[in-house]
Chain A
Amino acid sequence: MAKVLVVTSGKGGVGKTTSSAALGAALAHGGEKVVVIDFDVGLRNLDLVMGAERRVVFDLINVVQGDAKLNQALIRDKRLENLSLLPASQTRDKDALTEEGVARVLDELRQKFDWIICDSPAGIERGATMAMRHADVAVVVTNPEVSSVRDSDRIIGLLDSKTELAEKGGRIEKHLLLTRYDPVRAERGEMLKVDDVLEILSIPLIGIIPESEEVLRASNVGSPVTLNNPASAPGRAYFDAVRRLKGETVELTIPTDKKGLFGKLFGRRAA
Chain B
Amino acid sequence: MSLLSFFNRRTSAPVARERLQILLAHERGIVGGKPDLVAQLREEILAVVRRHVMVEQDNVQVKMNRDADISTLEIEIEIPAPAGASA
Contact = CB atoms under 8 A, between A and B. Distances in A.
B32 A157 contact: yes
Given A153-B28, A157-B32, A192 B21 contact: no
Interface string B20-58: 110110011000100000000000000000000000000
Contacts of A145: 16
Most central of A145, A146, A186, A193 by chain B CB within 10 Å: A146
**Is chain A's binding surface mostly helix, strand, loop or mixed?**
helix
Contacts of B28: 153, 157
A150 B27 CA distance: 9
Contact of B12 (A150, A154, A190): A190
Interface in A188-217: 188-193, 196, 200
Contacts of B16: 145-146, 192, 196
A153 B24 CA distance: 8
A227 B14 CA distance: 37
Contact of A192 (B13, B23, B24, B27): B13
Contacts of B17: 192, 196, 200
Interface of A: 145-146, 149-150, 153-154, 157, 186, 188-193, 196, 200
